[in-house]
Amino acid sequence: MLIKTPSQAIHKREFTPVATGPLSGIRVLDLSRLVSGNTATFLLADLGAEVIKIEPAAGDTLRHWLRSGYSTHWKNLSRSKKSFGLDLRRPGAVEVLKRLVPQADMLVENFRPGTLEKIGLSPEVLLALNPRLVIVRISGWGQTGPYRNRPGFGTLAEGMTGFAAANGFPDREPVLPPGPLADTMAGYCAAVSALAALRHAQMPGGEGQVIDQSLFTPLFISQGPQAANYQLSGQVRPRDSNSAQYTVPRGLFRTGDGNYVTLSASMEPMPQRVFEAIGKGHLNQDPNYNTAAARTERKDEILGWVADFMATMTQAEAVAFFEARDVTVAPIYDISHIMDDPHFQETEVVVTLPDPEMGEIAMFGFANQLSRTPANYYRPAPSIGQDNDEVLSLIGMDKVERAALEESGAVHRGKV
């Protein structure tokens, strides 16, 4: 099996299990599966929280999303976490979890609404066990509303929020995103709300609470004021390919060598600079072209000028030409370019970390830089039940009780 070696320029990092972070001392019980919950908890883990994944015998579903034989989703989204093999469908397992709840600060789950209640772990039960517990509930459509009991995968949210309908070309079908966009956005939003709730819970007189995080709301918000626009015009936003409704010129353009660049003139005086660059500077004094509203009325004409101009240059020439004229432009990249780009390397958008199976693995880094309390990489993604001993020590379980739970399969180290 071929494993491509990452560029030598990509920053090599090591796992540092003894390091501390801004969330050190915070313990999170992670019952989630797939992308949304794991995104929220990997953010917390990289910031130093002790994240304990509660896994059934088959493990988190992410473990089975394989690429060339490796679960790269799992390796990325479960780094810095611990694994406790606890099958909540087995007798005695829910009682074990109840004993862990008082030792935790947060619990994250993304079951279908009502599942926690069915197994005897409703928010009321959890908060009675730990009044300061922050409970993060991620689901497709939220815990309320007529769609709450529907299955909730990100693909469905991407379809129903208007994202797909507005994405793509006007003469073709709607287009879904190439990755788990709704799930990832929900995970980030859930982490933000979880930290706010944690702050409240730890203040004098503070209490725990329930966070209802759906997959569809962040993606709906990301599309801007579409509700207000529809209210004002009664018009549904059309698919407009790579252009924008209110910013002209903006779009993706093919260069003469068959590659592409993006250009965006989102604020004045950028449109004037573009016009000067492509030989249309005289129009900057023309009221038919020198306002945002006027340019929007003539969008197709203006984009045609830019497209024709781009076709006279290679991608590298176009980027250099417009950058020299202080116009915002960038090349279209795929992952092969990103891996070799010095800016992505210097900012650690991609890092390499040791991996027990692959030797080393290229991973996405943390999403931002904290100057005093940076995120860290504490440990590689765990095997199922790898941390059973440590977790059970939190509740002082004796050998006899543990042996019985292992015999029943409630406590496990994965399928044999």
**Residues 94 and 120 sit within 8 Å (Cβ to Cβ):** yes
The two tokens of residue 370 are: 């904290």
The burial of 146, by beta-carbon neighbours within 10 Å (0-12 exposed, 13-18 middle, 19 or more buried), is given as exposed
The two tokens of residue 108 are: 């994250």
Instruction: Tell me the residue type at 377.
Output: Y
Instruction: Identify whether 308 is a catalytic site residue.
Output: no
**Residues 218 and 154 sit within 8 Å (Cβ to Cβ):** no
3-state helix, strand, coil in the chain (%, to 5): 40, 15, 45
The two tokens of residue 112 are: 């279908």
CA distance 61 to 339: 28
CB atoms within 10 A of CB 230: 13
Q: Phi/psi zone of residue 92: left (φ > 0), alpha (ψ -120 to 50 degrees), beta?
A: left
Q: Which of 183, 308, 340, 398 is catalytic?
A: 183
CA distance 32 to 39: 10
Helix (H) or strand (E) holding 140: none
The two tokens of residue 117 are: 């209640």
Q: What does DSSP assign to residue 246?
A: S
The two tokens of residue 410 are: 């409630």
Name the packing angle between helices 270-277 and 315-324 (round to 10°): 120
The alpha helices in 26-71, defined as continuous H runs, are 34-46
Residues 6 or more apart whose Cβ sits within 8 Å of residue 337 = 331
CB atoms within 10 A of CB 170: 8
* Active centre residues (catalytic): 183
